[in-house]
Amino acid sequence: MKKLIAAAVATSVSAIAMADISITGQLKTNYTHKDYQSTLVNDADTFTTEGDISIKGKSGDTNVVMNLGNIDTDSAGSRATLNFEDVYLTTKIGDVNVKMGNYDNGNNSLRASSRSPRFNASTSLGGFKLSYLNGNGDLDSSAKQNDEVGISTSLGGVNVGYTLKDGGETIKASTSVGGVNISYLGLPSDTADSDRSAIELSTEMNGVGIKVGSATAETGTTITGDSWMGDFESAGGQEFTTLAGQDVTALELSTSIAGNKVAFRNIAVDGYASAGKDWDMNKIIVTRPLASGATLEVTYKDINDDASATTDMEVLDIELAVKF
């Protein structure tokens, strides 16, 4: 019987190894204190925990990814349902790379991400990358998307990309000049007064990282991006909800001090045509890897919102996070 069990275990281990399966994940827990400047709002203390698990399998040139998310709890003890979020595969058909399934298209400085079923095919031809995407979700504009065709290449040291899609376009360009990295993202829209664009510059001087960013929106559209320039998603948890036509500017200075990564950010949102609608935030982020394998991150925010006397606040957030 022992030999039979040992053989069964060995067979199972061999099957797992042959399948080339990996399981990774992360978990973070946060304590957040909000100190409101107005006496009309009570200060708040919350504890939250968030976890994600990623399962990856590989067979030849085919990869399968299944991400499980929403493993969340808050200080009230509520729990979110464990869901499969991203479920997709990547493979090759001849010289064509294929990615299909349900996956997130990622955040950028102009719009929040979205998750939906998508099919993407791409290949390289004569120094150009050609791509086709068909999806059922909100990709780069507020309109539903069906088809996208894109082309990208490098011209004289400048990486450029152009995508034509239902309802608009995406234009990307990036390069480096004299040690300064420059990137541009444009989202022209077929809808009147609905163009958005962003430009970012970054460099390093004497051990100090410097980033400068500016995102602009015409009067008929809204910046909903989630990046180092600020979290403006319409979903819960955002730092600020922007209005149509509001622009964003941001500055970040970062360095290392005694084993700690320290970053200072100033983020400002203009009021557009409405007086008293300006918003700005100073943020200090200190991150330190611990000997235990976890990472400690302490964030301090000082928020000033001209639109409301009850939303000015100071926020202290202490986070412990681990990846495995």
pLDDT of the residue at 140: 47
pTM of the model: 0.84
C-alpha 46/C-alpha 33 separation (Å) is 7
| Per-domain boundaries in the chain | 21-323
Of 135, 134, 98, the closest CA to residue 116 belongs to 135
Q: Are 129 and 151 in contact (CB under 8 A)?
A: yes
Q: Are 144 and 137 in contact (CB under 8 A)?
A: yes
pLDDT of the residue at 58: 94
Q: Is 179 left (phi over 0), alpha (psi -120 to 50) or beta?
A: left
* C-alpha to C-alpha distances, 56 to 129, 173, 311, nearest whole angstrom: 26, 32, 43
C-alpha 225/C-alpha 107 separation (Å) is 6
Q: Are 79 and 70 in contact (CB under 8 A)?
A: no
According to CATH, what is the number of the domain 21-323?
2.40.160.10
Counting Cα atoms < 13 Å in the Cβ hemisphere of 284 gives: 7
C-alpha 94/C-alpha 117 separation (Å) is 23
What tens-digit pLDDT sequence spans the chain (324 residues)? Answer: 445 445 444 444 444 444 699 999 999 999 999 998 887 778 889 998 888 899 999 999 999 999 987 666 655 555 666 678 899 999 999 999 999 999 988 889 999 888 888 999 999 999 999 999 987 654 444 445 568 999 999 999 999 999 998 889 999 999 999 999 999 999 999 999 999 999 999 999 999 999 999 999 999 999 999 999 999 987 656 788 888 899 999 999 999 999 999 999 999 998 765 656 788 999 999 999 999 999 999 999 999 988 777 778 899 999 999 999
pLDDT of the residue at 237: 65
pLDDT of the residue at 71: 64
Of 251, 199, 195, the closest CA to residue 223 belongs to 195
How many other β-carbons are positioned within 10 Å of the β-carbon of residue 149?
Answer: 12
C-alpha 311/C-alpha 212 separation (Å) is 26
**Three-state SS for 229?**
coil
**Three-state SS for 155?**
strand
Contacts of 40 (CB under 8 A, 6+ apart): 309, 310
Q: Is 187 exposed, middle or buried (0-12, 13-18, 19+ CB in 10 A)?
A: buried
pLDDT of the residue at 277: 75
pLDDT of the residue at 18: 46
pLDDT of the residue at 14: 47
